[in-house]
Structure formats: structure tokens, C-alpha cells
Amino acid sequence: MAKAIVKLQDMQTHIWPKIVQKGLIREGDPLEDADHFITALERQGVLAKADAQRLKIERVNYFHPLLVDAVKRFQGRHGLKQDGVIGKSTRRWLNKSANTRIQILALNMERLRLWPTERESIILVNIPNYEMQLWIDSELILDSKVVVGRPSRRTPLFDSRLDSVVFNPAWNVPVKIMRKDILPKLRNDSEYLEKNSYTVLSDWTDAQEIPSEQIDWQNINPNNFPYRLQQSPGDMNALGRFKFNTPNGNAIYLHDTPAKSLFAKERRAFSSGCIRVQKAETLAEILISRSGFNYGDYDYYRRIPETKWVSLRKRYAVYTIYQTAWVNESGEVEYRDDVYHYDARPKRNTAVSLTASNSQS
């Protein structure tokens, strides 16, 4: 990262042309200023100097296939959809100056001091990259896309230990989500709770079920609702089929989800704070097998309809981190969007600026 900063500093005196052409630019489309466009991709290190010179000599004035391939490489290094189409996000990253990139790299070098460097038995979730990695004995065993908290309900930066896997979990709905997300839907659909397998409970201590017909819904609103909600295990459950327990002060954990389509999104900040794992089933199988259980045990726990807590004999450190820039194994700098706008506050103490909300799901 230090070498990347030095390289950018050396390039600050060079021209960094901006892409001002508006609208979507697709393969074959005319380019308003092709030379500037070619130079921009060359400066970003995604278009070879020889190719750039040839395109200029030939006076190419359209979105040439060589340029499309360069844009795809650029998009890959910035966590963007690699479709070779220049839209708002790709244009914004192309137009970031060398000085801005230097600042991003410098800030992320400081952040590296906060995260663990060992990779013995650890789960890392990089929030801006929407990715989870499982490392065992310094080997990357599994990586998976994740969905993290939306900006209004951020996934906090924390560390914990994963101590158990819950098969077919019930979901005890946090009060904030109950009031803001679920109860308001009853105004338009009186059968919403039944359709989505919610049970009304007296509280979390004695957990007496309250029949829905006994509740005076006419005089209850989200702010004075005196009960608690629990969603039964099953295909409709917001936690999916697996929950990975990580005790921490924010009640944040990793879990499966029935909303699989969200993993296809480029930007995956949609949850209320907890971390949805695309490869949750694979993660559960690995953790169970590495903890001394056989596949028969795992298959049985997965098939039974009841909730089953399985304590792991081996605990795994879990860290949620916030890296918006790093150097990959190929020596290329990768950048990600600052989803929680932490990069915009570099003057504050780094640890303080990374403090997130106490969202609970």
C-alpha cells in the first residue's frame, strides 16, 4: 500500500482527465473525447501503454472492445459489476483524483493496525466488500458474499467468538424492528403475522403465547405494543435455516436468509445490522465437521424441523472490519465504496470514527 501511494504521488503531476460524457456508454458507442478516455484508462493501470498508443494513432473515436475490456478490469478492482458499461458508479470512480486515492490508501493503512493479522482460526467480514472469509490454519477455506446493515442500521465493528451453530432457528424480533418494520404492516394486512409465522408472546421471560384474537388491535400502535414477537422456524424465517452465534454487546450474528436474490446485487447493504451469509449451509457443514461431528449428525440436524443448538468444540474468532482499499495477491490496489461514510471523517480518531450503531438484527 505504501508503494501504491508513492506511485500515485509520482503520477500527480500527470494529466488525469475526467470523463464528462453523460449517460450510459456501451460497446460501440461514440466517445466525445476518445483521447482523454484512453488516457484515463491508461493512468488507472487497466489499459496497456502500447494499446493506448495504438488506439490514439488509429484515431479510434468509439467505445472499442479493448476499452471495454479495460473498463471491466477497472470495475473488478472497484467492486463494481463487470459489465463493461460506463454508468454513474464507474464514471465516479474513474474521475477520482490521485490525491483522493492517496488519502483513501493512507486511511486504510492506519486501519490495518486495528485488525488481526493471524489467520489460524478466524472469520473476517469486510463490510464495504460485502464478503466473509473463513480461515483455518492460515488457509482460506471459504469465502462468501454477505449482506450487511444498511446505512441507517449499520453493522457495527466488533470482535467475538463463534461458539455454536443453531439449526432451524426461531427469530426473536428485536423491539426496534418490530415497531418500525413489522407492526406498521398490520395496518394494511390484518393477517400479516399469521402469513409470516409470527407468534405474539407476553415477554421474553415466561414467554406465554397471546392469541391474536385477544389483542385489541384497534387501540394498539407500534409504540405502545406491550408484547413481543417470535417468528417460527421454517422457510419463511428471516434467519433462514442456520444461525451462527457470536455473543457480543450488540446482539449481532451471522445467519442464513430466505432472500437469496439480494446476493446478486452489486451493493449489499440491506439488513438491519446482522450479517446474512450466502454460503451459510456450507459454513455450517464446515464448522460442524471441524468440531468433531460427522456428516450424519449434520444431515440429521439439518433435516429435523425443530430448533437445534450445536455447541462447537472449536471456537472461531470473528471480526467485522472496514477496509475500503487494499492490495490483492496480484499486487493490484482494490477500492470499495465507503458505504457508511467513514472515509469522509479522517480527522477523527480512527477507532472512534468506526464506531457503529447498536442495531440488533
Which of 60-74, 113-127, 137-151, 181-195 has the lowest average pLDDT?
181-195
Interval 282-292 mean pLDDT: 92
Q: Is residue 349 very low, low, confident or very high in pLDDT (cuts 50, 70, 90)?
A: very low
Of residues 36, 78, 274, 341, which has the active-site annotation? Answer: 274
Ordered by where they begin, the domains of the chain are: 17-96 (1.10.101.10), 119-167+241-297+308-353 (2.40.440.10), 171-231 (no CATH)
Of residues 14, 36, 78, 255, which has the active-site annotation? Answer: 255
Percent of the chain with pLDDT over 70: 95
pLDDT at residue 350 in the model: 44
**Tens-digit pLDDT profile for residues 32-76:** 999 999 999 999 999 999 999 999 999 999 999 999 999 999 999
Interval 220-249 mean pLDDT: 90
CA distance 83 to 197: 40
129 contact partners, CB below 8 Å, separation of at least 6: 79, 323, 336
pLDDT at residue 218 in the model: 78
CA-to-CA separations, 40 to 17, 20, 45, 71, in angstroms, rounded: 6, 12, 9, 10
Q: Is 64 a catalytic residue?
A: no
Q: Is 255 a catalytic residue?
A: yes
Percent of the chain with pLDDT over 90: 68
CA distance 32 to 22: 10
141 contact partners, CB below 8 Å, separation of at least 6: 134, 135, 286
356 vs 69 pLDDT, higher one: 69
Is the pLDDT reported for residue 299 higher than 90? Answer: no
Q: Is residue 103 very low, low, confident or very high in pLDDT (cuts 50, 70, 90)?
A: very high
**Tens-digit pLDDT profile for residues 150-161:** 999 999 999 999
CA distance 180 to 185: 9
